[in-house]
A and B are shown apart, each in its own frame.
Chain A
Amino acid sequence: MQKPRTLTVRVDPLTRVEGEGALHVRVRNGQVHELRLEIYEPPRFFEAFLRGRRFEEAPDITARICGICPVAYQMSACNAIESLLGFSATGPLRDLRLLLYYGEWIESHALHVFFLHLPDFLGYDSALHMARDHPEWVQKGLQIKKAGNALLARIGGREIHPINVRIGGFYSVPSRKALLEHREELARARDFMVEALRWMATLEFPDFEEDYEFVALYHPEEYAILDGQIRSSKGILVSVSGFEEVFEEFQVPYSHALHSIIRGRGSYMVGPLARFNLNFSQLAPVAREVAVSLDLTPPVRNPFRSLLVRGIEVVHACEEALRLIERYEPPHRPWEPVEVRPGIGHGASEAPRGLLYHRYRINPEGLIEEAKIVPPTSQNQRRIEDDLRKLVPRLLSLPKDQITWRCEHAIRNYDPCISCATHFLRLEIDLE
């Protein structure tokens, strides 16, 4: 009984992710024989029932794909449809969209850093368990999250599924005074994050690096979040309308989320690491200085260090939000009227988890005839599998429960959102 030839480890479930799935690993003679990230979050068919809906409804409907990053869906939908209708938000309207999005980045990143990811580094089952020994960090994490949510709710109406976004702008816009009220909270969130980063940088990061192809939006004037061109660390530079020429989606039998690869090349990574490595020079000066002081400079190829990179993005988001609030004057009107124009519109933006692509075909009556949505987690799926394939052989000397936890940790590096693409990631390891 001491050395069983076949060993099945079944951990039910993988947690601290958003959605439902499982990991299946089979190891033979120390080699990974089979590895599948199985996503069985039930399909909800958004792309099907968007057909026949009015184009104005796309931001509200697609927001419901993800309660963690609804603004990302609203912004990518607006970008796609507005690009077709010949509208582009400028001035204070664009600033308000950026502010709304920074609110979501702060909220989503703070949730992941402090509640979903950090417990792995410290060996706790959850942030609530962690709170018994580290109450100050959990409290500060909550305060950062709250600052993001407050800004989001101010502009969007509420934190989850904001109601204020429409094609052409917003239903109504905040006064300057209302936004100024957020300065203190945002500045405090930034300072808490810098303080937390100095501590987090002293944690132990597993020694793991990969030669990733990073993919993110690029904007000539800012650390891209709202719009831009698609760029990769290995030479791709295309406009958003060229997305489907470069990237290919396909179905695998074991996952309800489609996989993505770069045509002819293979897996790639989207998200904080990709943005940081591609657009580092455009980070707010404070964010850049903190990163450098922590010895965090591009290229960061260790996905476990995404904990720190998310923190840097929180600092950046707070800084930028403060800058935009300082210069804010309400626009003359909350939205610009648009006219229906049939055709195909493409749009993308940087969700907290990475590039989010939408495409719509609209008919002369303004009805959606076809919709395509490519969320960041489905793009990262194959990359997560590739990471685990490399990681698992190095873990085999560890006890089973440690192997399991390390695999979970490696998956959480990506902050996978399985509702966008899981809550029920069951881990199954077959060791032969």
Chain B
Amino acid sequence: MARRRKPKLAVWKFASCDGCQLTLLDCEDELLALAGEVEIAYFLEASRAVVRGPYDLSLVEGSISTPEQVEQIREIRRQSRFLVTIGACATAGGIQALRNFADVRGFLDLVYARPEYVRTLEKSLPASAYVPVDFELRGCPIGKGPLLELLSAFLNGRRPNIPNHSVCIECKRRGIVCVMVAQGTPCLGPVTHAGCGALCPAYRRGCYGCFGPMETPNPTSLGNWLLTHGMSSPDLVRLFRTFNTYAPAFKEAGERYAEAADVDRAR
């Protein structure tokens, strides 16, 4: 049975490294098949041909960090049936949200000789700060598997089957020896959203939280445990403040331990 028309896919970019949209081009075995199923209507990294909206599915990469981008994300929402954020920048503000804890003017002065030439917002925020988002794909970067699952689910009109438990569960399923128990290596696995397949522990490294907080995490329990096992509070603050620094659970944990570190310093 022939479909009346192929659904229109758009890929958008805001403040980001391009890595999450590159994940689509990295689907070397699936890309041409996908191009047969959807009309790639807007994907500037891949094509100069642009088809006007509305779009059936918009994939949004990058955080909202300039006044123009606020207008643009609102227009994209108006033009899109489904809007899905791809990656830590669009979902949580990205590493560039580290500026949210500082004075952006100070940052401008550090990087640019003439800061007045540069237009930027005080905060780097996720798309959901400005518009309703239908689904969020986690990761810095997103994984190929979850991206293909999302696209299959969209094409088949069902909900994506993407687990929201912790990296720990993935790690146990793979039978990897726990790096925290066996090596004493600090690991964010107990509070981090699954999706990478417990990549870092598989390489004998502690998880550093690329996929952001899992559903209902307990970062205080993990943080206190790390403190009692010798981690300094500034190091703990840095551990929560990376690529998902402005995701609520990590943001709160970072702030709590930053306050504690300040109190320590004042003593």
Contact = CB atoms under 8 A, between A and B. Distances in A.
A33 interface: no
Contacts of B257: none
A197 to B, nearest CB: 20
Nearest to A127: B46
Interface in B3-28: 13-23, 25-26, 28
Interface in B198-231: 199-200, 202-205, 208, 210
A171 interface: yes
B17 A64 contact: yes
A115 B46 contact: yes
B205 A171 contact: yes
A131 B203 contact: no
A16 B47 contact: yes
B44 A60 contact: no
A42 B107 contact: no
A419 B17 contact: yes
A299 interface: no
B204 A419 contact: no
B90 to A, nearest CB: 13
B181 to A, nearest CB: 17
Contacts of B26: 145, 149, 159-160
Interface residues of A, number: 67
B45 A66 contact: no
Interface stretch (A249-257, A346-354, A377-385): A249-257
Given A127-B46, A146-B29, A54 B235 contact: yes
B35 interface: yes
B199 A157 contact: yes
Contacts of A203: none
Contacts of A48: 99, 102, 106-107, 110-111
A334 to B, nearest CB: 8
B208 A423 contact: no
Given A45-B96, A64-B95, A64-B243, A126 B18 contact: no
Give the interface size bracket for B toward A. 35 or more
Contacts of A60: 208, 242
Interface string A411-423: 0000001010001
Which of B17, B98, B140, B204 has the most chain A CB within a 10 Å cutoff?
A: B17
A160 B141 contact: yes
B151 to A, nearest CB: 15
Given A19-B18, A49-B99, A128 B29 contact: no
Interface string B65-102: 11001000000000000000000000000111011001
A145 B28 contact: yes
B206 to A, nearest CB: 9
Contact of A66 (B18, B49, B118, B196): B18
B13 A131 contact: no
B238 to A, nearest CB: 6
B40 interface: yes
Given A42-B69, A67-B141, A161-B19, A16 B203 contact: no
Given A42-B15, A65-B17, A164-B203, A251 B25 contact: no
Contacts of A256: 118
B35 A131 contact: yes
Contact of A164 (B104, B120, B205): B205
Nearest to A131: B32
Interface in A3-49: 13-20, 41-45, 47-49
Interface string A125-149: 1111101000100110011011001
Nearest to B13: A423
Interface in A53-92: 53-54, 57, 60-61, 64-68, 70
Contact of A67 (B19, B50, B99, B203): B19
Contact of B46 (A19, A128, A135, A142): A128
A256 B113 CA distance: 11
A125 B41 CA distance: 12
A253 B203 contact: no
Which of B40, B46, B50 has the most chain A CB within a 10 Å cutoff?
A: B46
Nearest to B142: A160
B31 interface: yes
A106 B98 CA distance: 33
Interface in A94-120: 111, 115, 119
B141 A138 contact: no
A13 B203 contact: no
A253 B114 CA distance: 8
A54 B23 CA distance: 29
A243 to B, nearest CB: 18
Contacts of B49: 125-126, 129
Nearest to B114: A251
Contacts of A142: 28-29, 31-32
**Closest A-B pairs by Cβ, 10 of them:** A67-B19, A126-B47, A125-B49, A48-B107, A44-B96, A15-B48, A146-B28, A49-B98, A171-B205, A67-B17
Given A64-B95, A251-B114, 11 more contacts: A42-B14, A42-B66, A42-B120, A43-B108, A47-B111, A48-B102, A49-B98, A57-B238, A129-B47, A160-B19, A423-B13
28 contacts: A15-B50, A42-B14, A43-B108, A43-B120, A48-B99, A49-B96, A49-B102, A49-B107, A64-B243, A66-B18, A67-B20, A68-B19, A126-B40, A126-B46, A126-B48, A128-B35, A129-B49, A142-B31, A149-B28, A163-B200, A163-B208, A164-B203, A250-B113, A251-B117, A408-B48, A419-B16, A423-B45, A424-B44
Interface of A: 13-20, 41-45, 47-49, 51, 53-54, 57, 60-61, 64-68, 70, 111, 115, 119, 125-129, 131, 135, 138-139, 142-143, 145-146, 149, 157-161, 163-164, 166, 171-172, 250-251, 253-254, 256, 258, 334, 408, 417, 419, 423-424
Interface of B: 13-23, 25-26, 28-29, 31-32, 35, 40, 44-50, 65-66, 69, 94-96, 98-99, 102, 104, 106-108, 110-114, 117-118, 120, 124, 140-141, 143, 196, 199-200, 202-205, 208, 210, 235, 238, 242-243
